């Protein structure tokens, strides 16, 4: 990197008589790598590029940069000894909040406002001082564990560093504007697309070429070249990216299903929007439409109460998290949060976050390919990113899931979800309505623009390979975003904002392009955009995905008030242009017009894709013969990565900030009871709230993608039913909101590059069909969704593709959070029942996977969702909740009945005497204990409610036993004892460390 | 509740604070009148402490905790000036001089410590204790058992509570053995983490961070400033408790005024009301 020695530096170290907890952790981390470092001390080092004397710094630094009790400060010298050192510093241009904050601190100490407002001249880094002398190879290994070369400059050596470097920024003058000629043959234009990182296909490039040929005369009249400018092609590449336009979900698909050909015109319109519209029409007909904005805005918006809407959005951030797990996950969470902020006029307040994460196995032992990080490195980093983003934003992370499968070892799946509350009315009108008019100013608030995150939208639209540039990766800043979102909420409440959206994929190019559709045009002046540093090309300013920025539409008369408010709040707000009704998106830099595009063509001109798909249903393989071994098997299941306790992750997340969380991820007397859904109060003014749950089970997809997707949907529904939500019922003001997130491998058939593409796409079609069938049966609409279509990692001639996966995140309004029910057993004598039926459906189950790996789990029938039975059982559960009959309720999923029994016991710290003979009358005992049949729940009922409960459920509930005073789980099958384990034994197995 | 004038509380928001909403709800439930104001308006002087009985610095990550938790906000209190040139610290000192009280929770406590407002023995506003990184080395969200002790939370007396902690830097370290003894002698340790047997917690998980003397909350020498790591404002209703379902099923005591974090705010409001009555007399 371009660096030079800084004028000065300040090093802040923990005093020798205090414990250096970070250093201790680094020492342990090194030991895991097989490196014995001896004692480690960690210094915060600030490279300072300012004129001024060391004496001035020596006076100021201890005052403002260090803890007076714990730390000691050195200026321009390192008054320590060490055997070796490692330093990590942000690469030039990568967000360095700590350096900026240190600069502000010095500005305060010196009462020097110019330091406060000017460019960054203080840069943070970490210096790890290692007691022992270490070989270069060990230091290199340790350095790359402590930092990531994509975002950090890493250095190491013997003794102490000889100089502390500061990044140097190279100023590139703007290069003259180039045009792009797309008249070549397919190979030639595809080569251009590849070189430009546009990810546009031949048909799209032809469509652009033809459009420009058509409007050539008009362009010349506008003083534009006939050929598209580079910048214009970039705008198309962003706007038409798979990420933004979902070309494959809107493609026309020729499907051959069981030898029967048929055509699907747009998966999205047919199955997803189709289901939602059908539900909406059904309830609108009886005057109960609760859907306010579906699929048309950044998040789905539904009715919450008389004064508020509820917004839901879930996004994935898979490719960035594969490259830079911490930064990728962080920007995933923060970016998804911005979608909620940017819904309607803007200013929603976040209520909760969710995180569903899929990684390769913790013990992944295959050699790592070039560019591939070990799944554990990815997992720890992603969790760290989610923690930082959620905690620092003050948003409770209340629900999630953690799945392990080696097919996620190339690209992890990182699903970030957000629920938010929007007041219905602002002084300037209905909040849901982006009321942007010609003449409204375009104002950006938040962070400045740098070269970070260029081509993120197009990059995520392709497979991940080992040739990536660091510029596609961004580091988030929760603090900058918090400042901006607080300002946005305040400005919206004052009626100063007529519409807004976030700057994510595609940067200003996308955000302004999208908002311009309302008024019908926009003119953008890029030279006004505040930059982190000089030297950006205009097109980079347009495309940069630098984080923490919102684009606002503001009436001309309100701009001054908004800018003044922003100034008081310490947030930058800049007027960068205006909306108009010209029908065009015009981008200027000074006197140069970089783009002058027809808005209608930009948004509607993308050609329809044509894709081929095939799927053949096949009969189930017979169950394997296995010995049952219930006790030992239960302990092994409880300890397995897909089932064991998630406390090591959950307790890193703040799940109680805002004081509204009623059902948290872990509950019960010892905080170990895993819950099915989270429940959050909507406000302090009432007891209504929201229940949120996730459904995801890719393991069933190998057997039958339809059954898998239906199972995921059912899992989310039954989790919500379990805690006490009610399915939409006429006359009850229902308010359900769902979000679908598909993550699949590249499913576009190519005889050479993707020979099984038709089969992959066939699976996706079946998954979408299941979504439709479940949604319309339960009356649960999707209000937003997102698809991620290229989840393949390619390196050294190998490809690691994710299994087709869909996550359903469902949210339901609950009338009174105090009447919800948790999973753990609560009192001795309560009677335990299984609700819903078990079938001989061992296919895909965790028991088979544990006994013989994924191949064995291909045996047995896949669990099916029997919609009629499911709905009947759920309606009885709703009645039981309404009558207050349930002491506990836990859904049956991974591991089946036996694991659910153990979780209820561990969670409540109570045992039970269980006899499954009534279940084993009709099904094999292995299925009774381990099958993962859907639509089942395990409930406990206080003795005085037993009669009413049994009357209500009839044959839909089977009595299994009673919660016992003896703290052990005793399991019989009639006269035969299957196992007897103490709660302590179960707990110990379940608390096996995840990593 | 003691009768008298309404207790007005200034709760700060913005600049990275996260807990203003539940904090305001807590004061309201306790019968006070909270005013939530942007911290930048307080630091500039646009919002002043006149008319307020209590200043509340809530939890969060002020300035992103970039230079250490609470460091930058503490810098602003110690070195910053209002727009009219008055030192922020002088306004704080004057506020305390007329009997005002300051409550800092989590990040607010970290700020109070770094700004020298607790324990402030000798009244010189210099940092005397620290809140260091948890010994486990990371952020932790967990419920802990605590007992109010020593000088005690106003008139809360010696009582036990379950409360959530949510922090990465909460290990109270006394600057010196002498200072630790002084704090103990003067009864400044207002809240301690407890083991299951009721004794002060020395190890994890009962002591979530490794704090010396199991210190969860600390008073200033003059008893007007209190900081604590646990979050009483996140426990305003019995259904915030992780075992609320079991307690409800078993018919255990769920009185919110005495069992939940509400008790803290009620005690503080009562003390402020009493003070106002005494001054009035």
The answer on pLDDT for A451 being more than 90 is: no
Please give the average per-residue pLDDT across A451-463, as a whole number.
61
> Encoding tokens for residue A38?
């001896």
Task: For the beta carbon of residue A908, count every other beta carbon within 10 angstroms.
Answer: 33
Q: Which pLDDT tens digit goes with each residue over A221-235?
A: 999 999 999 999 999
In angstroms, what separates the C-alpha of B280 from chain A's closest C-alpha?
Answer: 34
Rounded CA separation A596/A415 (Å): 36
Q: Specify whether the CB–CB gap between A337 and A395 falls below 8 A.
A: yes
The answer on pLDDT for B268 being more than 50 is: yes
Q: Which pLDDT tens digit goes with each residue over A90-136?
A: 887 777 889 989 998 999 998 887 777 677 889 999 999 999 999 99
Residue A994: its pLDDT value, please? Answer: 86
Catalytic residue selected from B19, B22, B169, B231: B231
Assign 3-class secondary structure to A883-899: CCCCCEEEECCCCHHHH
Would you call B106 a catalytic residue per the annotation?
yes
Rounded CA separation A931/B209 (Å): 42
Q: Which pLDDT tens digit goes with each residue over B154-205?
A: 666 788 999 999 999 999 999 899 999 999 999 999 999 999 999 999 999 9
Nearest CA in chain B to A44: B67
List chain A residues with CB under 8 Å of B16.
Answer: 392, 479, 482-483
The answer on pLDDT for A1 being more than 50 is: no
**Mean pLDDT of all residues belonging to chain A:** 93
Please give the average per-residue pLDDT across A54-77, as a whole number.
94
List chain A residues with CB under 8 Å of B21.
Answer: 658-659, 684
CB contact under 8 A, B67 and A98: yes
Residue B275: its pLDDT value, please? Answer: 84
Q: What are phi and psi of A622, to 5 degrees?
A: -65, 155
Residue B16: its pLDDT value, please? Answer: 95
**Helix or strand (DSSP H, E) at A740:** strand A736-743
- Residue A464: pLDDT band (50, 70, 90) is low
For residue B264, the domain's CATH number is: 3.40.50.880
CB contact under 8 A, A657 and B166: yes
Q: Specify whether the CB–CB gap between A832 and A915 falls below 8 A.
A: no
List chain B residues with CB under 8 Å of A400.
Answer: none
Task: For the beta carbon of residue A409, count every other beta carbon within 10 angstroms.
Answer: 24
Residue A503: its pLDDT value, please? Answer: 87
The answer on pLDDT for A460 being more than 70 is: no
Residue B1: its pLDDT value, please? Answer: 44
Vertex A178 angle, CA A177 and A184, to 5°: 165
CB contact under 8 A, B21 and A659: yes
- Whole-number percent of chain A with pLDDT over 90: 80
Whether cis (ω within 30° of 0) applies to the bond prior to B119 is yes
The answer on pLDDT for B2 being more than 50 is: no
List chain B residues with CB under 8 Å of A27.
Answer: none
The total domain count for chain B is 1
Rounded CA separation A903/A907 (Å): 6
Please give the average per-residue pLDDT across A715-742, as a whole number.
94
Among A49, A24, A141, A14, smallest CA distance to A86 is for A141
End-to-end, the C-alpha distance of chain A in Å comes to 34
Please give the average per-residue pLDDT across A352-372, as a whole number.
95
Vertex A444 angle, CA A442 and A446, to 5°: 170
Residue A473: its pLDDT value, please? Answer: 66
CB contact under 8 A, A63 and B234: no
The dihedral formed by the CA atoms of A898, A904, A905 and A911, expressed in degrees to the nearest 10 = -90
CB contact under 8 A, B67 and A105: yes
Q: Write A182-185 long-range contacts (CB < 8 A, 24+).
A: A182/A206, A182/A208, A182/A209, A182/A212, A182/A227, A182/A228, A182/A233, A183/A209
Rounded CA separation A597/A601 (Å): 8
Please give the average per-residue pLDDT across A270-299, as a whole number.
93
Give how far Cα A623 sits from Cα of A698, A850, B132, Å: 20, 15, 56
CB contact under 8 A, B137 and A22: yes
Side-chain-side CA neighbours of residue B107 (13 Å): 30
Q: Is B64 on the interface with A (CB under 8 A)?
A: yes
Structural domains of chain A in order of their starting residue, each with its CATH number: 3-167 (no CATH), 186-245 (no CATH), 284-431+647-743+780-820 (3.30.1330.10), 821-995 (3.90.650.10)
In angstroms, what separates the C-alpha of B278 from chain A's closest C-alpha?
Answer: 33
CB contact under 8 A, A657 and B59: yes
In a domain, B203, yes or no: yes
The answer on pLDDT for A472 being more than 70 is: no
Catalytic residue selected from B20, B22, B106, B167: B106
In a domain, B193, yes or no: yes
In a domain, B2, yes or no: no
- Residue A995: pLDDT band (50, 70, 90) is confident
Residue B155: its pLDDT value, please? Answer: 61
Least confident segment among A272-286, A663-677, B253-267: B253-267
Catalytic residue selected from B233, B241, B270, B275: B233
CB contact under 8 A, A668 and B243: yes
Residue A467: its pLDDT value, please? Answer: 47
List chain B residues with CB under 8 Å of A69.
Answer: 127-130, 173, 175
Would you call B138 a catalytic residue per the annotation?
no
List chain B residues with CB under 8 Å of A65.
Answer: 67, 71
CB contact under 8 A, A479 and B64: yes
- Residue B94: pLDDT band (50, 70, 90) is very high
Alpha helices in A43-119 (DSSP H): 54-64, 97-110, 113-117
Least confident segment among A222-231, A832-841, A890-899, A977-986: A222-231
End-to-end, the C-alpha distance of chain B in Å comes to 18
Contact map slice: B 81-110 vs A, CB within 8 A: none
In a domain, B118, yes or no: yes
The answer on pLDDT for B222 being more than 80 is: yes
Task: For the beta carbon of residue A193, count every other beta carbon within 10 angstroms.
Answer: 21
Q: Specify whether the CB–CB gap between A705 and A614 falls below 8 A.
A: no
Would you call B275 a catalytic residue per the annotation?
no
The answer on pLDDT for A456 being more than 80 is: no
Among A606, A492, A622, smallest CA distance to A552 is for A492
Q: What are phi and psi of A696, to 5 degrees?
A: -160, 130
Q: Is B148 on the interface with A (CB under 8 A)?
A: no
> Encoding tokens for residue B143?
């419920």
The answer on pLDDT for B55 being more than 90 is: yes
- Whole-number percent of chain B with pLDDT over 70: 95
Q: Is B133 on the interface with A (CB under 8 A)?
A: yes
> Encoding tokens for residue A216?
């050539």
Give how far Cα A981 sits from Cα of A19, A53, A986, Å: 41, 70, 7
List chain B residues with CB under 8 Å of A479.
Answer: 16, 61, 63-64, 66
Give how far Cα A945 sits from Cα of A563, A876, A883, B49, B135, Å: 62, 14, 9, 56, 47
Q: Which pLDDT tens digit goes with each residue over A529-568?
A: 998 877 788 888 998 888 789 999 999 999 999 999 999 9
In angstroms, what separates the C-alpha of A40 from chain B's closest C-alpha?
Answer: 14
Task: For the beta carbon of residue B8, count every other beta carbon within 10 angstroms.
Answer: 17
Among A368, A417, A429, A430, smallest CA distance to A389 is for A417
Give how far Cα A579 sits from Cα of A441, A498, A517, Å: 6, 12, 9
Rounded CA separation A952/A875 (Å): 10
The answer on pLDDT for A163 being more than 90 is: no
Nearest CA in chain B to A685: B25
Q: Is B181 on the interface with A (CB under 8 A)?
A: no
- Whole-number percent of chain B with pLDDT over 90: 86
List chain B residues with CB under 8 Å of A98.
Answer: 66-67
In a domain, B1, yes or no: no
Pick from B127, B135, B234: CB nearest A69? B127
Query: What length is written for chain A?
Result: 995
List chain B residues with CB under 8 Å of A102.
Answer: 66-67
In angstroms, what separates the C-alpha of B53 from chain A's closest C-alpha?
Answer: 24
Q: Which pLDDT tens digit goes with each residue over A853-904?
A: 888 989 999 999 999 999 999 999 999 999 999 999 999 999 999 999 999 9
Q: Is B205 on the interface with A (CB under 8 A)?
A: no
Pick from B40, B64, B234: CB nearest A392? B64
CB contact under 8 A, B21 and A684: yes
Among A990, A222, A178, smallest CA distance to A537 is for A178
Rounded CA separation A317/A16 (Å): 41
Least confident segment among A161-175, A706-720, A961-975: A161-175
Residue A96: its pLDDT value, please? Answer: 86
Residue A778: its pLDDT value, please? Answer: 97
DSSP string for residues in A179-221: B----S-HHHHHHHHHHTT----HHHHHHHHHHHHHTHHHHHH
The answer on pLDDT for A968 being more than 60 is: yes
Q: Is B14 on the interface with A (CB under 8 A)?
A: yes
Please give the average per-residue pLDDT across A190-209, as a whole number.
90
Range with top average pLDDT, A150-159, A209-218, A458-467: A209-218
Q: Is B70 on the interface with A (CB under 8 A)?
A: no
Return all residues near B131 (Cβ < 8 A) that are at least 6 apart. Answer: B69, B70, B109, B110, B113, B169, B170, B171, B172, B173, B229
- Mutation to test the B interface, candidates A46, A70, A661, A823, most B Cβ within 10 Å: A70
CB contact under 8 A, A651 and B141: yes
List chain B residues with CB under 8 Å of A108.
Answer: 75-76, 79-80
The answer on pLDDT for A610 being more than 80 is: yes
ipTM of this complex: 0.96
Q: Which pLDDT tens digit goes with each residue over B4-16?
A: 679 999 999 999 9
pLDDT higher at A150 or B66:
B66
In angstroms, what separates the C-alpha of B4 from chain A's closest C-alpha?
Answer: 26
Give how far Cα B219 sits from Cα of A179, A847, B79, Å: 69, 55, 23
**What angle separates helix A54-64 from helix B71-79, to the nearest 10 degrees?**
110
Residue B216: its pLDDT value, please? Answer: 97
In angstroms, what separates the C-alpha of B153 from chain A's closest C-alpha?
Answer: 22
In a domain, B64, yes or no: yes
Residue range(s) defining the domain that contains residue B37? 8-280
CB contact under 8 A, B19 and A393: no
Nearest CA in chain A to B208: A651
In angstroms, what separates the C-alpha of A986 from chain B's closest C-alpha?
Answer: 20
- Mutation to test the A interface, candidates B66, B172, B218, most A Cβ within 10 Å: B66
Residue A90: its pLDDT value, please? Answer: 87
Q: Specify whether the CB–CB gap between A499 and A435 falls below 8 A.
A: yes
Rounded CA separation A946/A948 (Å): 6
Rounded CA separation B166/B142 (Å): 7
Question: Taking the CA atoms of chain B, what radius of gyration do you get in angstroms?
Answer: 18
């Amino acid at each position: 990197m371009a660096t030079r020695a800084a004028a000065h530096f300040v090093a802040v170290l923990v005093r020798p008589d205090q414990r250096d907890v970070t250093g201790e952790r680094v020492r342990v981390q090194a030991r895991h790598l097989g490196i014995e470092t001896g004692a480690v001390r960690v210094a915060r080092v600030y490279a300072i590029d300012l004129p001024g004397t060391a004496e001035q710094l020596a006076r100021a630094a201890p005052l403002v940069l260090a803890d007076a009790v714990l730390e000691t400060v050195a200026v321009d010298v390192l008054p320590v000894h060490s055997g070796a050192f490692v330093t990590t510093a942000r690469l030039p241009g990568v967000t360095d909040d700590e350096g900026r904050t240190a600069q502000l601190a010095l500005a305060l100490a010196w009462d020097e406002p110019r330091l406060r407002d000017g460019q960054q001249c203080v840069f943070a880094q970490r210096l790890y001082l290692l007691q022992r002398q270490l070989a270069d190879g060990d230091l290199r290994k340790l350095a790359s564990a402590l930092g990531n070369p994509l975002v950090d400059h890493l250095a190491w050596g013997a003794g102490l560093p000889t100089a502390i470097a500061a990044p140097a920024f190279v100023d590139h003058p703007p290069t003259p504007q180039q045009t792009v000629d797309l008249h070549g043959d397919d190979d030639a234009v595809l080569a251009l697309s590849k070189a430009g990182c546009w990810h546009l296909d031949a048909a799209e490039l032809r469509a652009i070429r033809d459009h420009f040929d058509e409007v050539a005369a008009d362009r010349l009249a506008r003083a534009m070249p006939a050929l598209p400018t580079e910048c214009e092609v970039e705008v198309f590449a962003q706007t038409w990216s798979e990420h933004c336009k979902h070309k494959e979900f809107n493609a026309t698909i020729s499907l051959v299903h069981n030898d029967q050909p048929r055509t699907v015109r747009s998966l999205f319109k047919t199955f997803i929007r189709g289901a939602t519209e059908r539900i909406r029409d059904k309830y609108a007909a009886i005057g109960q439409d609760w859907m306010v904005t579906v699929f048309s805005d950044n998040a789905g918006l539904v009715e919450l109460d008389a004064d508020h809407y509820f917004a839901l959005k879930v996004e994935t951030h898979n490719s960035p998290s594969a490259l830079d797990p911490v930064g990728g996950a962080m920007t995933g969470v923060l970016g998804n949060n911005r979608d909620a902020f940017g819904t309607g006029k803007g200013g929603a307040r976040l209520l909760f976050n969710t995180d569903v994460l899929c990684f390769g196995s913790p013990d992944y032992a295959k050699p790592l390919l070039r560019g591939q990080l070990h799944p554990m490195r990815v997992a720890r980093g992603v969790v760290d990113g989610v923690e930082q983003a959620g905690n620092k934003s003050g948003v409770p992370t209340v629900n999630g899931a953690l799945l392990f499968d080696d097919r996620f070892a190339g690209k992890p799946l990182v699903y970030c979800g957000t629920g938010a509350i929007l007041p219905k009315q602002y002084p300037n009108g209905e909040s849901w309505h982006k009321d942007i008019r010609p003449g409204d100013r375009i104002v950006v608030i938040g962070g400045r623009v740098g070269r970070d995150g260029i081509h993120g939208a197009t990059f995520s639209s392709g497979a991940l390979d080992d040739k990536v540039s660091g510029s596609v990766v961004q580091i988030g800043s929760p603090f900058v975003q918090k400042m901006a979102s607080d300002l946005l909420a305040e400005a919206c409440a004052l009626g100063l904002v007529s519409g807004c959206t976030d700057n994510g994929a595609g940067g200003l190019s996308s955000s302004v392009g999208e908002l311009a559709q309302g008024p019908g045009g926009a003119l953008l002046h890029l030279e006004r955009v505040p930059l982190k540093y000089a030297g950006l090309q205009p097109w980079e300013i347009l495309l940069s995905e630098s984080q923490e920025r919102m684009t606002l539409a503001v009436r001309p008369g309100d701009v001054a008030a908004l800018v003044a408010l922003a100034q008081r709040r310490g947030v930058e707000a800049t007027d960068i242009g205006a909306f108009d009704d010209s029908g065009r998106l015009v981008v200027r830099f000074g006197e140069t017009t970089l783009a002058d595009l027809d808005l209608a063509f930009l948004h509607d001109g993308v050609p329809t894709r044509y894709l081929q798909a095939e799927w053949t249903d096949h009969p189930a393989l017979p169950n394997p013969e296995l010995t049952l071994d219930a006790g030992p098997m239960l302990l092994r299941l409880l300890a397995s990565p897909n089932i064991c306790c998630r406390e090591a992750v959950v307790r890193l997340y703040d799940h109680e900030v805002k004081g509204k969380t009623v059902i948290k991820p872990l509950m019960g007397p010892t905080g170990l009871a895993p819950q099915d859904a989270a429940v959050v109060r909507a406000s302090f003014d009432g007891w209504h709230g929201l229940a949120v749950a996730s459904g995801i089970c890719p393991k069933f997809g190998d057997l039958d993608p339809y059954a898998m997707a239906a199972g995921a949907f059912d899992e989310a529904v039954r989790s919500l039913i379990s805690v006490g939500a009610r399915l939409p019922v006429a006359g009850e003001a229902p308010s359900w909101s769902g979000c679908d997130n598909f993550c699949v491998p590249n499913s576009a058939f190519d005889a050479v590059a993707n020979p099984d593409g038709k089969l992959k796409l066939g699976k996706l079609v079946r998954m979408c069909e299941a979504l439709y069938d479940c949604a319309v049966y339960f009356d649960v609409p999707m209000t937003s969704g997102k698809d991620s279509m290229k989840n393949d990692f390619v390196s050294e001639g190998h490809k690691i593709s994710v299994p087709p996966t869909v996550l359903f995140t469902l949210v339901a309004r609950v009338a009174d959070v105090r009447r919800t029910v948790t999973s753990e057993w609560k009192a001795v004598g309560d009677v335990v029942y299984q609700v819903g039926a078990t079938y001989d459906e061992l296919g895909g189950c965790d028991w088979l996977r544990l006994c013989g790996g994924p191949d064995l789990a291909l045996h047995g029938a896949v669990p099916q969702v029997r919609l009629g039975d499911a709905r009947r059982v759920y309606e009885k559960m709703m009645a039981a909740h309404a009558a207050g009959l349930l002491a506990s309720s836990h859904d049956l999923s991974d591991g089946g009945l036996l694991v659910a029994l153990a979780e209820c016991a561990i969670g409540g710290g109570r045992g039970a005497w269980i006899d499954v003979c009534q279940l084993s009358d009709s099904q094999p005992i292995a299925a009774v204990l381990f099958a993962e049949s859907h639509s089942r729940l395990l409930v406990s009922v206080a003795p005085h409610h037993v009669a009413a409960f049994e009357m209500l459920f009839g044959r839909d509930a089977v009595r299994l036993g009673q919660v016992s005073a003896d703290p052990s789980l005793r399991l019989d099958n009639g006269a035969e004892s299957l196992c007897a384990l103490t709660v302590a034994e179960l707990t110990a197995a379940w608390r096996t460390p995840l990593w | 509740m003691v009768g008298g004038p309404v207790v007005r509380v200034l709760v700060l928001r913005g600049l990275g604070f996260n807990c203003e909403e539940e904090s305001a709800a807590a004061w309201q439930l306790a019968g006070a009148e909270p005013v939530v104001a942007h911290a930048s308006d307080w630091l500039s002087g646009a919002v002043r402490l006149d008319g307020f009985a209590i200043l509340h610095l809530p939890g969060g990550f002020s300035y992103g905790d970039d230079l250490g938790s609470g460091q930058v906000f503490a810098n602003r209190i110690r070195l910053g000036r209002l727009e009219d040139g008055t030192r922020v610290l002088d306004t704080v000192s004057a506020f305390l001089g007329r009997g005002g009280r300051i409550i800092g929770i989590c990040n607010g406590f970290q700020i109070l410590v770094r700004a020298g407002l607790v324990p402030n023995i000798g009244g010189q506003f210099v940092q005397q204790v620290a809140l260091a990184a948890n010994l486990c080395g990371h952020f932790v969200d967990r419920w802990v058992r605590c007992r109010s002790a020593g000088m005690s939370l106003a008139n809360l007396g010696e009582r036990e509570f379950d409360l959530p902690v949510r922090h990465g830097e909460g290990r109270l370290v006394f600057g010196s053995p002498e200072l630790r003894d002084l704090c103990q002698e003067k009864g400044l340790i207002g809240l301690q983490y407890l083991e299951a047997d009721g004794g002060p917690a020395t190890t994890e998980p009962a002591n979530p961070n490794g704090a010396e003397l199991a210190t969860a909350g600390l008073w200033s020498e003059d008893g007007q400033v209190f900081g604590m790591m646990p979050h009483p404002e996140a426990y305003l209703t019995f259904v915030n408790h992780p075992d609320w379902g079991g307690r409800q099923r078993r018919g255990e005591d769920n009185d919110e005024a005495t069992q939940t974090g509400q008790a803290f705010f009620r005690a503080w409001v009562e003390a402020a009301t009493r003070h106002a009555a005494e001054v009035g007399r």
